[in-house]
Amino acid sequence: MAKAVFNRSLIHRIQAAVVVHDADTKVIVCNSKAQELLGLTEEQMLGKAAMNPDWKFLGADGERLSLEKYPVNQAVFTQQPLRDFTIGIFRPNKSDVVWVLVNADPVLDDKGKIQQVIVTFMDITDLKQAEEALRESEEKLVRAEKLAILGKLAGVLGHEIKAPLGVIKHSLEFLKVRLDQDVDAKIGEHLNLMHAKLNTMDKTIDDVLDFARTKKLELMTVDPGNLVEYLLRDIPIPANIRIVPDLGRNLPCIAVDERQIQQVFRNIIANAIDAMIDGGTLTVSTGKQLSDNAGHEFVTISFRDTGEGISPDHVKKIFEPLFSTKVKGTGLGLVACENVIHAHGGSIEVSSELGKGSTFIVKFPIKEN
Amino acid sequence: MAKNSKILVVDDDADTLTVLTDLLIEHGYDVVTAANGVEGLKKAKKEKPDLALVDTRLPKMDGYEVCRQIKEMKGLDAGVIMFTAYGDAVNIEKAREVGADDFLAKTEDFANMHRAIKKLLGRR
């Protein structure tokens, strides 16, 4: 009896979390640290098997952990110790995830049959968050390097291609003037074709140059509802697309470079139209949102289409320079949009479901009086 | 017979000079050319053009300085159109500051370029 009390006292004093399961994976012992990390009381945990739906874990990749991957189940199945397995724990009534490093040791009897599984785990949330911050800063660095290279490339395009393009175009125009009097219709057709294609090339180069240029913001205070309303009034929309404005009134004003932001919205709308090849509905909404972190308030402008949607893999990459889901996309449009929005202190995010459509939400800080 | 308007084209790219010269002559203008900024100023002083087309990037003296000096040149009242591969807001602002009357991209349709030329010559 004294030994059992001693063991219980010892287990509860250990700073690592300890949970002991029986052969059916039911919890028979759990110490204070385990209760703290799992967000459950001893009464709530004792007798609970691994398959109980109250346990909610994430894998290291952030995806929901399948039942067979639960540490206790792995140890039961393999009858081998599990070492340094990372999982995230969803605790009841808490929004944040606790990340832990888990070890699980099966205790076998003389015949090699499982008697117990001792699971120990340590809180590595701070470490995980530091790793995440490092990963994010590395991604930002890679992105900045990509943008710098694109900037240089744009410079080369501007000087080394646009100038000769001008020569070719003017040379062609000279031929058209000279041949205009009695030109063969077919020759005229080909000259016009070359002229049109040169203009297309010129436009593509301008798009790259536009992307690479850092433009100074000319901020003015605007009503978000009016901003969107004016835009929707003069944007060409194909007949098979329905635009549904859902504009909140009396929203706080925002400080934006109207010309640049209208270009951003035009780009987002053009993408939405491209995604609805067989027609559909684009709902443009404005609203107000309280941010999660510092408590700042934002005005949101969202564009929800009923198009083909974007796969989760592509959603992750959608703001990467040179990434495009379109056959003829340059992969610069959304990056340029994001740059402009960030320059305003805002943000852009996307959610999408294949076959159902995508929603782009742009947030701007509310202008303080 | 009315005298043709004289246009000075300043660009270090020989092909650009050739094609613009041919197009301008074809449209009834007299054309003089220069391949760098210093030569451009000398030709402006000697030839007294009615209008100058000046590239922003030039050897020896950049196009903005050429524009500024042409605009300040005594006895000369030439319109200046600057043209460049870099038609961004910063360059346009810079061109305005040195007194350029217009700013065009090198790939602009000649029809638009000609419209700008006629507009400036019509003001004289």
Of the pLDDT bands very low, low, confident and very high (cuts 50, 70, 90), residue A328 is low
Structure ipTM: 0.83
Specify the range with the lowest mean pLDDT, choosing from A93-107, A329-343, B6-20, B51-65: A329-343
pLDDT tens digits for B38-55? Answer: 999 999 999 999 999 999
Contacts of A171 in chain B (CB under 8 A): 19
Q: Virtual CA dihedral for B36, B38, B41, B47, nearest 10 degrees?
A: -70
This prediction has a pTM of 0.55
What pLDDT is recorded for position A203?
79
Burial letters for B36-59: b for 16+ Cβ neighbours within 10 Å, e otherwise?
bbebbbebbeebebbbbbbbbbbe
CB pairs under 8 A between A and B: 57
Number of alpha helices (DSSP H) and beta strands (DSSP E) in chain A: 11, 13
Which one of B107, B110, B114 makes the best mutation probe of the A interface by having the most chain A beta carbons within 10 Å? Answer: B107
Question: Which of B20, B57, B89 is closest, CB to CB, to A170?
Answer: B20
Higher pLDDT, A340 or A54: A340
The answer to whether the beta carbons of residues A252 and A299 sit under 8 Å apart is yes
Q: CA B97, CA A86: separation in Å to the nearest integer?
A: 62
Q: What is the largest CA-CA distance in chain B?
A: 43
Q: Residue A182 above 70 pLDDT?
A: no
Sort out which chain A residues have CB atoms less than 8 A from B85's CB and list them.
Answer: 158-159, 162-163, 166
Q: What is the dihedral of CA A179, A182, A187, A190, to 10 degrees?
A: 60
Interface-testing mutation among A157, A167, A198, with chain B (most B C-beta atoms within 10 A): A167
Average pLDDT on A128-141 reads 86
Where does A130-212 sit in CATH, by number? 1.10.287
Query: In which residue are the tokens 């999660």 written?
Result: A292
Distance from CA of A346 to the nearest CA of B (A): 23
Task: Give the one of A163, A174, A215 whose C-beta lies nearest to B22's C-beta.
Answer: A174
For chain B, give the percent of residues with pLDDT over 70: 93
**Whole-angstrom distance, CA of residue A313 vs CA of residue A332:** 18
Average pLDDT value for residue range A105-133: 91
Does A169 score more than 70 pLDDT? Answer: yes
Q: Chain A: residue nearest B111 by CA?
A: A173
pLDDT score recorded for residue A352 = 92
Integer Cα distance of A292 and B66 in angstroms: 56
Q: For A136-165, what is each residue's pLDDT tens digit? A: 888 888 877 877 777 777 777 777 788 889
Note the pLDDT of residue A205.
Answer: 80
Out of B88, B106, B111, the one facing A166 most closely (by C-beta) is: B106
> What rounded mean pLDDT belongs to chain A?
85
- pLDDT at residue A201 greater than cutoff 60: yes
Choose from A21-25, A52-56, A324-328 the range with maximum mean pLDDT.
Answer: A21-25
**Pairwise CB contact (< 8 Å): B85 & A162:** yes
- For residue range A313-322, what is the model confidence (pLDDT) as tens digits? 888 888 877 6
Q: What's the pLDDT score for residue A330?
A: 65
pLDDT of A5 over the 70 cut: no
Q: Per mean pLDDT, which range of A122-126, A192-196, B89-93 is the poorest?
A: B89-93
Nearest C-alpha neighbor of B6 from the set B47, B37, B41, B34: B47
Amino acid A14: pLDDT: 81
Separation CA A192–CA A200 (nearest Å)? 12
Q: What is the pLDDT of residue A141?
A: 84
What does the pLDDT average to over A225-243? 88
The residue in chain B having the minimum alpha-carbon distance to the alpha carbon of residue A213 is B88
Contacts of B11 (CB under 8 A, 6+ apart): B17, B20, B33, B35, B53, B54, B55, B58
Local confidence band at B1 (pLDDT 50, 70, 90 cut-offs): very low
Mean pLDDT of A274-281: 91
Coil/strand/helix, residue A78: helix
Q: Which CATH number, 3.20.20.220, 3.90.1150.10, 2.60.40.2480, 3.30.450.20, labels domain A2-123?
A: 3.30.450.20
Higher pLDDT among residues A318 and A214, named by residue: A318
B105 neighbourhood in chain A, CB within 8 Å: 162, 166, 202
- As a CATH number, domain B6-123 is 3.40.50.2300
- Contact between chains at B13 and A162 (C-beta distance less than 8 A): no
Contacts of A170 in chain B (CB under 8 A): 16, 19-20, 23, 110
Q: How much of chain A, in percent, has pLDDT values that exceed 70? A: 92
Partner-chain residue, chosen from B26, B88, B89, that has the shortest CB–CB distance to A177: B26
The domain A220-365 is placed in CATH, from the list 2.40.100.10, 3.30.565.10, 3.90.105.10, 3.40.50.300, at 3.30.565.10
- Of all residues in chain B, the one with the smallest CA distance to A155 is B86
Work out the burial of residue A170: count CB atoms within 10 Å of its CB; fewer than 13 is exposed, 13-18 middle, 19 or more buried.
Answer: buried
Return the domain boundaries, chain B. Answer: 6-123
Contacting A residues, span 264-303, partner chain B, CB-CB under 8 Å: none
Out of A170, A178, A216, the one facing B110 most closely (by C-beta) is A170
Give domain limits for chain A: 2-123, 130-212, 220-365
pLDDT > 90? residue B25: yes
Task: Give the residue from A256, A283, A254 showing the smallest Cα distance to A269.
Answer: A283
Predicted confidence at residue A6, as pLDDT, reads 57
A149 or A221: which carries more pLDDT confidence?
Answer: A221
Identify any residues that bridge with B9 across adjacent strands, giving them in sequence order. Answer: B33, B53
Average pLDDT over residues A230-250: 87
**pLDDT given at position B117:** 95
| Contacts of B119 by beta carbon, 8 Å cutoff, 6+ apart | B102
**Predicted pLDDT at A181:** 62
Close Cβ partners of A240 (under 8 Å, ≥ 6 residues apart): A276, A278, A279, A280
Whether pLDDT at A290 is above 90:
no
Distance (Å, whole) CA A343 – CA A218:
11
Phi, psi of A160, rounded to the nearest 5 degrees = -85, -20
pLDDT in tens, A67-94: 889 999 999 999 999 999 999 998 887 7
Residue of B nearest to A154 (CA): B86
What share of chain A in percent tops pLDDT 90?
Answer: 36
In this prediction, residue A9 carries a pLDDT of 75
Give A338→chain B minimum CA distance, Å: 20
